[in-house]
Amino acid sequence: MVTEQIIYGGFGSTAAITGTKISVCPIGLMKSTTTVPLEVVIPWCAAGKIRDLNVSLTVAPGAGTGINFKVSKATSPSAGESITANISGTDTTGNSGDDSMTVAQGDLIRIILQASAGVPATTQWHFSYRWIPDTDKEFILGGNGNQATVSNSANNFLALSGHSTTFSTTELNKEIIIPTAGTITRITVRTQEDPGSGKSYEFTARINKVDTALDVTINGDGNGLPLIASSTASVSVSAGNTIAIKCDPTNTPTATQVSYSMTFLPDDDNVFIVPSSSDENMAQRGTRYRTILSGDAEWSATEGNHDSLANHGDSSAKFKLMRVKLTGSPGFGNKWDFTLRKNGSDTGITGTISASGTSVIAFGNIPISDGDLFNVKVIPNSDPTVSHSLISFVVETIPVTVHIKGGDILGGDIL
């Protein structure tokens, strides 16, 4: 069985891209960039291939200018260890063609941006690429905190849905909701700093705010170098469960940035999940929009700031399900309406949470084409009680097989 995952990301504000390389997290919408690549890498928890990088800009680079976007290993990549998409002139989209890069478990993955010519116009960008694991269904959940450091004296919680501006001592702020049953395994963590001799950071996957057996500890060895560790334990999760990673310091270790990932293996075939977490309450007045994948998703009145760029590759891809969970009910006579948006229009995946309710599951069959832009819209009705929202999606990707007979293409079958 051939399986794949579409990984979404981008930058929700405008930024100038110059001849100096800047790096961004390879998963989720970001709100800041860095010139220090190891601040945004994610240690990949599985082996496979990355291919089909798609990029979209809100403003074209301009005549005589261009921008290179590269998915790359953090070390100097050799041939086959990066893929590049270029956008130049009046174009606003680009892709990496048929190129692919091989990834081993433990590789540090990032995205690099750099002007390829001239001084490009300031712009926002959205990207997506395909992950094809060597082992069936080993799909990636992960994130990092960019320049933020975890606390070395109290528990912090980490989101499994991409970049976070900060970590949090409040678990709710970093939880994701699982939209379909499966198994989580192989938590992989990297610390930018050595914790120090006799000191450590312990990382534990939590389900519904309870510790699980999926746990890994990074013990300091005093050599001052970054450290990485991985666990092979596995834990079953049910649809509707919430997940976060807890970071527990021992003996006041050296303050450090951390990055991490784990695999999610869905029970169903040909599906993957797209989760997001948020530490921001929904607005009680006015329509708001939010990205579908981020470690600290924000609600915005401007839809374009939170789009995610689609990429279906060699598959027939569709959004099939949206699951929403609130931290509190809207209250009598009040409600929240949630809708998946595609290219600035409502789709058929829409759900309402009203009165004493706190969750909704919405089903649909929304086709995904290269270049489509998706986000989530919420509309408050009456005066709903202030609440956080956990939102996640199930995407179906069914490979297309083309039959050839006697040199003639007979047609494509969806397997």
Does residue 80 lie within any of the structural domains? yes
CA distances for 171 relative to 79, 160, 250, 258, 261, angstroms: 41, 12, 19, 17, 17
Q: Which two tokens stand for residue 404?
A: 């050839």
Same domain for 116 and 193?
Answer: no
Q: In this structure, what DSSP letter does residue 121 have?
A: P
CA distances for 50 relative to 26, 80, 115, 344, angstroms: 11, 10, 23, 28
Same domain for 62 and 75?
Answer: yes
Same domain for 236 and 334?
Answer: no
How far is it, in rounded angstroms, from Cα 364 to Cα 359? Answer: 17
Ranking 126-135, 307-316, 350-359 by mean pLDDT, the lowest is: 307-316
Give the mean model confidence (pLDDT) for residues 356-369.
96
Does residue 406 lie within any of the structural domains? no
Confidence of residue 400 (pLDDT cuts 50, 70, 90): low
Same domain for 293 and 378?
Answer: yes
Same domain for 120 and 154?
Answer: no
Q: What's the confidence (pLDDT) of residue 164? A: 76
Same domain for 199 and 235?
Answer: yes
Tens-place pLDDT, residues 210-264: 999 999 999 998 777 788 899 889 999 999 999 999 999 999 999 998 999 999 9
CATH value at residue 146: 2.60.120
Point out which residues pair with 340 in neighbouring strands: 376
Same domain for 32 and 120?
Answer: yes
Does residue 407 lie within any of the structural domains? no
Provide the b/e sequence for 282-297 (b: ≥16 CB within 10 Å).
bbeeeebbbbbbbbbb
Domain stops at, among 101, 136, 171? 136
Tens-place pLDDT, residues 59-104: 999 999 999 999 998 766 566 689 999 999 999 999 998 899 999 9
Same domain for 146 and 125?
Answer: no
How far is it, in rounded angstroms, from Cα 51 to Cα 65? Answer: 25
In sequence order, the 6+-apart residues with CB closer than 8 A to the CB of 167 are 145, 148, 150, 151, 156, 157, 158, 174, 247
Confidence of residue 23 (pLDDT cuts 50, 70, 90): confident
Q: What's the confidence (pLDDT) of residue 413? A: 40
Does residue 412 lie within any of the structural domains? no
**Helix (H/G/I), strand (E/B), else coil: 306:** helix
Same domain for 145 and 227?
Answer: yes
Same domain for 11 and 131?
Answer: yes
SS3 content of the chain, % helix, strand, coil (to 5): 5, 60, 40
Domain extent for 302: 278-400
Same domain for 161 and 89?
Answer: no
Domain stops at, among 117, 136, 155? 136
Same domain for 242 and 315?
Answer: no
Does residue 227 lie within any of the structural domains? yes
Domain stops at, among 136, 168, 184? 136
Cβ-contact 117, 65 below 8 angstroms: yes
Does residue 26 lie within any of the structural domains? yes
Does residue 413 lie within any of the structural domains? no
Tens-place pLDDT, residues 179-215: 999 999 999 999 988 999 999 999 999 999 999 999 9
Does residue 410 lie within any of the structural domains? no
Between residues 307 and 78, the one the model is more confident about: 307
Q: The pTM is what? A: 0.91
Q: What's the confidence (pLDDT) of residue 37? A: 59
Domain count, the chain: 3
Q: Answer yes or no: is pLDDT of 305 > 70.
A: yes
